[in-house]
Amino acid sequence: PVPDLPGKSTFFVGSTDEFIEKRRQGLQQFLEKVVQNVVLLSDSRLHLFLQSQLSVPEIEACVQGQGPQTVTDAILHYAMSNCGWVQEEESRP
């Protein structure tokens, strides 16, 4: 089972900064629980979500083999682009 996300209460009493910090802490705890779950940690969708800039539809297409890249290629491309190792892609006809 996937852990519950922290709530996004619209009726928060207190400062915006306090709400943001509590939400950040809740999201951090959620992510820590997710990455400690072996089944979730082995899911390609999770890796693409955490290690690429692909949208949810692009992630689904990639996992199903319908995208222009494999899961590994998408992750490596993003990692290398963050390190400045990827040059701008040439325009394709």
- Note the pLDDT tens digit of each residue in 35-92: 899 998 889 999 999 888 899 999 999 999 998 889 999 988 888 887 755 554 444 4
- Asked if residue 9 belongs to a domain, the reply is no
Within-domain flag for 10: no
The pLDDT of residue 87 is 52
- Cβ atoms 71, 62 nearer than 8 A: yes
Residue 5: inside a domain: no
Domain membership flag for residue 72: yes
Contacts of 42 (CB under 8 A, 6+ apart): none
Distance separating alpha carbons of residues 52 and 79, to the nearest angstrom: 8
In a domain, residue 8? The reply is no
In a domain, 74, yes or no: yes
Verdict on whether the full-model pTM lies above 0.85: no
In a domain, 34, yes or no: yes
Q: Whole domain around residue 53: which residue ranges?
A: 16-91
Q: 57-67 pLDDT, tens per residue? A: 999 999 999 98
Predicted local distance difference test score (pLDDT) of residue 17:
84
In the chain, the number of structural domains is 1
pLDDT band per the 50, 70, 90 thresholds, residue 13:
low
